[in-house]
A = this chain, B = another copy of it.
Amino acid sequence: VRIGVIGDGGWGTALALLLRENGHSVRLWGAFPDYVEEVRRSRENVRFLPGVPLPADLSLTSDPADLVEGASLVVSVVPTPYLRVVARRFAPLLSPGTPLVSATKGLEKDTLARPTQILGEVLGESRPCAVLSGPSHAEEVSRGVPTAVVAGCPDGAVRTRVQEVFSNERFRVYGSSDAVGVELGGALKNVIALAAGICDGLQMGDNPKAALVTRGVVEIARLGSTLGARRETFFGLSGVGDLIVTAYSRHSRNRSVGERIARGEALESILSSSAMVPEGVFTTRALGERDAGVDLPIVSELYGVLFRRRDPREAVIRLMTRDLKEEVEG
């Protein structure tokens, strides 16, 4: 199978490598011709996946026409802030039947649109489209560390095809018909990971962090079900699984922003000192400023701490002293 991968970040590159290992003919597209040329020459994506050699038969291109030519599957791994503009470059080139797999995690900053919603708007709604998400540090996948993810697509045949194309003995792909839930999990988990970082920064302990993660999943599942997702999806790999890997990893940007907030740094100074924007911050802002129509106690307190400079310790006490509740809502 010839496959085109759009997006030469760490995750796009790792997925391109995986697909090539699985015997497919793979092209990887990057937006910047100079950088693509550099990667092609050095056979290393030094900025986004350093230390991982790229084999000679993984072709690299910055030409959209080159990427889609002959491709029977296209994988989109473009970060949400650039997704709309990149998709527009591919819109005239992609044949209507070519299935898409979106592996972008995150929502569009102000609209909270999901990546596949953006792709649908730009590329047409009728194209078969799946999402791929789960606990998957790119660097581990590129080293062949065992990883399990979910492919979400309401169409069973497309879903099975995606499972088969990506799976091997170190990369296991479960199927889910709930594409919306799979996609939302990977985005909303960043909000809870940020709160978990605050927990770390306050050096509260293991009990409160586990409680936060567990109740956080309940909260994003509650929100997700009002957005068309199924609750149970959030208790799977793309929800709680991805949240665990983010909340308990040294490397997570969202977690470490929370840690710095808890130590008293102002949000503005954290944001101005880092090149990459931790998207949990913007998702929290967008959620905090609209009426989601459901009870989101953790998100509300996090919004207050981030944007109203409320004391995080007092936020914890407010969360602990709410009315006593049943764990599972009817």
Question: Does A249 sit within 8 A of B, measured CB to CB?
Answer: yes
Q: Are A324 and B211 in contact (CB under 8 A)?
A: no
Cα distance A213–B163 in the bound complex, in angstroms: 21
- From A3-11, A102-110, A135-143, A301-309, the one touching the partner chain is A135-143
Q: A227-274: which residues lie under 8 A (CB-CB) from chain B?
A: 230, 232-233, 235-237, 240-242, 244-245, 248-249
Question: Does A148 sit within 8 A of B, measured CB to CB?
Answer: yes
Number of residues in A with C-beta < 8 Å to the partner?
Answer: 62
Question: Does A326 sit within 8 A of B, measured CB to CB?
Answer: yes
Cα distance A170–B313 in the bound complex, in angstroms: 11
Complex contacts, A218 vs chain B, CB 8 Å: 236
Q: Are B324 and A175 in contact (CB under 8 A)?
A: yes
Q: Are A210 and B242 in contact (CB under 8 A)?
A: yes
- Contact mask A312-330 → B, CB, 8 Å, 1/0? 0000110011101111100
Q: Are A206 and B324 in contact (CB under 8 A)?
A: no
Q: Are B175 and A210 in contact (CB under 8 A)?
A: no
Q: Spell out A's residues near B (CB within 8 Å).
A: 134-137, 140-141, 143, 145-148, 150, 160, 163-164, 167, 169-178, 204-211, 213-215, 217-218, 230, 232-233, 235-237, 240-242, 244-245, 248-249, 316-317, 320-322, 324-328
**With contacts A145-B204, A177-B326, A178-B328 known, what are 7 further pairs, Cβ within 8 A?**
A135-B211, A167-B324, A169-B317, A176-B326, A210-B241, A214-B237, A244-B244
